[in-house]
C-alpha cells in the first residue's frame, strides 16, 4: 500500500511542477460544465432559442395582418418580414420566391407564406371545410423548427384572430344546424363585433388555448434537403471530422515538444533547416494527414451511410484543404505555446472541446440560441461546418463558400504567425 501511495504522490508532485497543466486539469471540468449547461439546459437568456421565421403576407387583409402580428408577438419566434433592415419602414417585404431562396441559403430554417384569400377563409373546422392553406417552407436539416412553427401557427390563429374564429364557428353552425334566422345572425355579428373591439382595446391576447392542429391548414414543404438520403450523416461527418482533425493535429504537433525535450530540435536548428522551414514542413505533414482523415471519413460515409460525396467533390476538396490547413496551424500554435506534453494535452482538450461545443461539432448550432450561434462564429469549427453544410446540404456552388474559406485561411495564417512568433524561444539565444 505504501508503494501505491508513493506512486500516487509522485504523480501529484509531477503535476504540481507543471503549473499550467495543474491549473488546466481543474479548470477543464468546470469550464465544460459551464459551456454545456449553457447550451443544453437553456440556463440563462443566452441559451433560449428563438426560431428565425420569414413571413410573407401575400393576402394583406385585416385577418392576415392580425395573424402576422400574432406571430411576431410569439416569444419563441424571431419573425423577419424584410430581406433588408427589419426596422426600415420603406424596406421592401419578402416575396415568396425570396423567402424560399433565403431558406435555401440557410438564412432562416423556416419561411411561412400566407396566401391570397387567407382573410376570407382563414380557419376551418374539420376536413372538407373551405379554407386557405398556409405554406411552410422548411430546411429539413432543422427537424424541430417547422414543427414548432406549425404548432405556433395554430395557437396564434386561436389567440390573435378571435373574430375570425367566431365567424368560422358560426358558419359551421349554419352548415350543420340547417341555417340561422336573420335575427340570430344579427346577434352573432354583434357579438363578433364586440370581440373585435375588445381585442383592439386589449394590449395583447394571452395565449391560453390549446394548439388545435387543423384550425389553419398548413402545407409543409422541404425546400432544402428533402431529397437527401441520409440527412444527419453530413452533419456528423463534418462535425466529428473537424473535431478529430483538431485532436490529431495538436497531438502530432506535440512532436515539436518532444524534439525540444530530447535535444533533437537543437540539432535540427544547427543544420540548414531554419525554424520557419521546420514549421512549414510540419504544417505540410499535418495538413496532409488532415486531408486524408477527412477523405476517409467522407468516403466511409458515402459507402455505408448514403452521404452524397461523389456529386460534391470540388466543394468537398476545397473545404477539406482549408479545414485541414487551419486545423494544422492551430495544432502547431498550441504545441508552440505549451512547455510540456501535459500542458499540451490539457490545453488541447480544453480548447478543442470548447470550440467543438460552441462551433457545432457536438450539437448543431441551429438548435442553439441566436446569441450562442453568434458566439460560435469565433470558432473555426463553425466556419468549417457552415462551409460543408453549404456544399453538402444546400448544394451551393463552390464559389459560394468563399466567406468560409476566406475566414479559415485567414485564421490559419494567424495561427501560423503566432506559432512562428512563439517558437522564437527555441531559436538561437
Partner 1 sequence: MPAEALPLEIRDVSKSFADRRALDGVSLEMRPGEILGLLGPNGAGKTTLVRSVASRVVPDSGTVRILGFDAADPRARAVRGWVPQEIALYPLLSPKENLWTFGRYQGLSGGALDRGIAASLDWIGLADRADDKTDKLSGGMKRRLNIAAGTIHDPRVLLLDEPTVGVDPQSRERIYAMIGELKGRGVSLLYTTHYMEEAERLCDRIAIIDHGKIIASGTKEDLVRKTVGTRQAVAVDAAAPIPAALWDRLAGLGAQRDGQQVRLSVEDPAAEIRRLLDLFHSAGVPVRDLTLKAPTLEQVFLQLTGRELRE
Q: What is the DSSP letter of 94?
A: P
Pairing status of strand 51-57 against strand 133-139: unpaired
Q: Min. distance of Cβ 386 from partner 1 in angstroms?
A: 38
Q: Does 2 bind partner 1 (CB under 8 A)?
A: no
Angstrom distance (rounded) from CA 308 to CA 302: 6
Give residue 423's Cα distance to chain centre. 36
Strands 217-224 and 133-139: parallel
The region of 163-171, 194-202, 266-274, 377-385 touching partner 1 under the rule CB under 8 A is 266-274
Work out how close the CB of 275 gets to partner 1 at its nearest, in angstroms, rounded to a whole number: 12
Q: Does 425 bind partner 1 (CB under 8 A)?
A: no
Please, are residues 126 and 210 in contact by the beta-carbon 8 Å criterion?
no
Burial of 372 by CB count in 10 Å (0-12 exposed, 13-18 middle, 19+ buried)? Answer: buried
Of 373, 258, 241, 366, the closest CA to residue 309 belongs to: 241
The reply to whether 177 sits near partner 1 by the rule CB under 8 A is no
Residue 11 touching partner 1 (CB under 8 A): no
Regarding 23 and contact with partner 1 (CB under 8 A), the answer is no
Rounded Cα distance between 34 and 23, Å, is 17
41 forms part of the interface with partner 1 (CB under 8 A): no
Question: For residues 91 and 288, which CB has a smaller minimum distance to partner 1 in the complex?
Answer: 288
Q: Which is nearer to partner 1, 264 or 311 (by Cβ)?
A: 264
Q: Does residue 429 interact with partner 1 by CB under 8 A?
A: yes
Q: Is 90 in the site for partner 1 (CB under 8 A)?
A: no
Residues near 78 by Cβ (< 8 Å), separated by ≥ 6?
A: 50, 51, 52, 53, 370
The least CB distance from residue 255 to partner 1, in Å, is 9
Contact 404, 390 (CB under 8 A): yes
Span near partner 1 by CB under 8 A; candidates 68-76, 122-130, 146-154, 260-268: 260-268
Our finding on whether 268 is near partner 1 (CB under 8 A) is: yes
Asked if 75 touches partner 1 (CB under 8 A), the answer is no
Nearer to partner 1, 9 or 277 (CB): 277
Site for partner 1 contains 276 (CB under 8 A):
no
DSSP secondary structure letter of residue 425: G
**Which one of 264, 296, 311, 397 is in contact with partner 1 (CB under 8 A)?**
264
> Shortest distance, CB of residue 17 to partner 1, whole angstroms?
21
Least distance in Å: CB of 284 to partner 1?
14
262 binds partner 1 (CB under 8 A): yes
Question: Do 84 and 54 meet the contact criterion of CB atoms below 8 Å apart?
Answer: no
CB neighbours (10 Å) of residue 174? 14
Residue that the C-alpha cell 476566406 belongs to: 406
Q: Name the one range near partner 1 by CB under 8 A: 20-28, 34-42, 263-271, 313-321.
A: 263-271
User: Under the criterion CB under 8 A, does residue 289 sit at the interface with partner 1?
Assistant: no
Mark 216-225 as b/e (b = at least 16 C-beta within 10 Å). bbbebebbbb
Distances in Å between the alpha carbon of 67 and those of 97, 141, 150, 214, 377? 21, 27, 13, 16, 34
State in angstroms the smallest separation of the CB of 259 from partner 1.
Answer: 8
Q: Does 424 bind partner 1 (CB under 8 A)?
A: no
Enumerate binding residues for partner 1 (CB under 8 A): 262-264, 266-273, 428-429
Amino acid at each position: 500500500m505504501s508503494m501505491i501511495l508513493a506512486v500516487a504522490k509522485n504523480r501529484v508532485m509531477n503535476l504540481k511542477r507543471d503549473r499550467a497543466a495543474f491549473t488546466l486539469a481543474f479548470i477543464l471540468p468546470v469550464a465544460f460544465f459551464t459551456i454545456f449547461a449553457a447550451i443544453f439546459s437553456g440556463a440563462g437568456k443566452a441559451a433560449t432559442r428563438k426560431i428565425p421565421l420569414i413571413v410573407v403576407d401575400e393576402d394583406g387583409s385585416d385577418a392576415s395582418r392580425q395573424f402576422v402580428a400574432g406571430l411576431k408577438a410569439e416569444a419563441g419566434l424571431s419573425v423577419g418580414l424584410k430581406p433588408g433592415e427589419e426596422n426600415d419602414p420603406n424596406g421592401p417585404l419578402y416575396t415568396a420566391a425570396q423567402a424560399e431562396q433565403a431558406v435555401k441559403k440557410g438564412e432562416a430554417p423556416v419561411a411561412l407564406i400566407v396566401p391570397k384569400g387567407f382573410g376570407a377563409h382563414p380557419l376551418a373546422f374539420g376536413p372538407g371545410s373551405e379554407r386557405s392553406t398556409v405554406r411552410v417552407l422548411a430546411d429539413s436539416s432543422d427537424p424541430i423548427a417547422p414543427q414548432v412553427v406549425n404548432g405556433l401557427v395554430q395557437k396564434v390563429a386561436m389567440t390573435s384572430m378571435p373574430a375570425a374564429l367566431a365567424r368560422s364557428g358560426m358558419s359551421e353552425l349554419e352548415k350543420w344546424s340547417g341555417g340561422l334566422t336573420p335575427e340570430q345572425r344579427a346577434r352573432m355579428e354583434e357579438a363578433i363585433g364586440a370581440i373585435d373591439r375588445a381585442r383592439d382595446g386589449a394590449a395583447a391576447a394571452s395565449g391560453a388555448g390549446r394548439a388545435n392542429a387543423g384550425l389553419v391548414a398548413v402545407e409543409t414543404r422541404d425546400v432544402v434537403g428533402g431529397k437527401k438520403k441520409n440527412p444527419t450523416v453530413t452533419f456528423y461527418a463534418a462535425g466529428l471530422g473537424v473535431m478529430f482533425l483538431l485532436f490529431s493535429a495538436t497531438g502530432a504537433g506535440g512532436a515539436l515538444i518532444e524534439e525540444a525535450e530530447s535535444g533533437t530540435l537543437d540539432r535540427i536548428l544547427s543544420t540548414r533547416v531554419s525554424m520557419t522551414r521546420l514549421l512549414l514542413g510540419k504544417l505540410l505533414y499535418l495538413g496532409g494527414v488532415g486531408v486524408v482523415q477527412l477523405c476517409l471519413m467522407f468516403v466511409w460515409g458515402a459507402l455505408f451511410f448514403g452521404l452524397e460525396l461523389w456529386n460534391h467533390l470540388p466543394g468537398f476538396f476545397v473545404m477539406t484543404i482549408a479545414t485541414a490547413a487551419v486545423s494544422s496551424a492551430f495544432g502547431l500554435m498550441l504545441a508552440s505555446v505549451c512547455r510540456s506534453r501535459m500542458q499540451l494535452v490539457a490545453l488541447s482538450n480544453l480548447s478543442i472541446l470548447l470550440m467543438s461545443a460552441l462551433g457545432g461539432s457536438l450539437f448543431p448550432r441551429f438548435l442553439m440560441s441566436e446569441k450562442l450561434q453568434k458566439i460560435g462564429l469565433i470558432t473555426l469549427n463553425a466556419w468549417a461546418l457552415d462551409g460543408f453544410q453549404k456544399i453538402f446540404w444546400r448544394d451551393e456552388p463552390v464559389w459560394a463558400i468563399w466567406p468560409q474559406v476566406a475566414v479559415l485561411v485567414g485564421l490559419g495564417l494567424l495561427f501560423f504567425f503566432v506559432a512562428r512568433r512563439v517558437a522564437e524561444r527555441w531559436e538561437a539565444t
